[in-house]
Amino acid sequence: RYFPGDRSHWLKLKKDYIEGFGDTAEFAIIGASVPPDRPGVYSDFTVAVLQEDVESLEAIDGVPRLVAIFNVLLGLSEVELKLLQPLLKDLSCHSTTNYMLDYATGFTQGPDILLSAPLVVELLGSGFVKERGQPHWTLRFPRIKKIFINRPLSDILSFNALQQLGDSVIVDDCDDLMK
C-alpha cells in the first residue's frame, strides 16, 4: 500500500542494475589519480575518446588523438584495484606517450599520472548526460565493467560517435515516453 512520502517499502530498480541492460561502450583510460579518501591507491581514472573517427586515425600520421572527457571512480573491487596498481605504475610516464591528448571543454583537472599507452575499457552507465554548462554528452554514472590489456585504440568510441550515441538514446527514450 502506498503512503505519500513513505519510501521505506520501495525498491528502486534501474535498468543498468540488470545484467544485459544499461548503456555500455568502450573508452580509453589515459591517466589516474589518487583521491583524498584513498591515499596511495590510483582509483580515479581519466577517460578519453578518439578525437577523430577511426577512419581518419591512419590518415593523420598514425598518432591517435584523444580527448579526455570525464573521470570514472566506480566498478572495480578492492582486489581488482590492488591488482591494477603495478600495471598503472609500469605504464605511468611524465612526458612520452604514444598519443596526442586534449581536454574537453570544462575538464578542469588532469590526472596525477598519464599512461604511456592507454588501457581500453568497457564502461557501463545509466544513460547519457550533458553536465551543467557542458556542450557534450558523457556517460551517466559510469562504472568500469572490463579492462582490456591488449585492445587497439581503434576499438574505442570517437567523440562524434559518443555524441551521436547520446543523441540517439535521448530520442529513443523520448519516443518510448510518447507511446
Closest of 72, 51, 73 to residue 63, by C-alpha: 51
Is residue 27's pLDDT more than 90? yes
With 80 as the cut, is the pLDDT of residue 21 above it?
no
Lookup: cell for 63: 598518432
- The model's pTM is 0.79
Q: Which residues of 142-168 are buried (b: 16+ CB within 10 A; e: fewer)?
A: bbbeebeeebebeebbbbeebbebbee
Q: Where are the alpha helices (DSSP H) in the chain?
A: 54-59, 78-91, 159-178
Q: What pLDDT band is residue 178 in, cutting at 50, 70 and 90? A: very low
pLDDT for the residue numbered 172:
46
Q: What is the mean pLDDT of residues 33-41?
A: 89
**DSSP tag of 74:** B
Residue 25, CA distances (Å) to 16, 113, 173 in order: 13, 24, 18
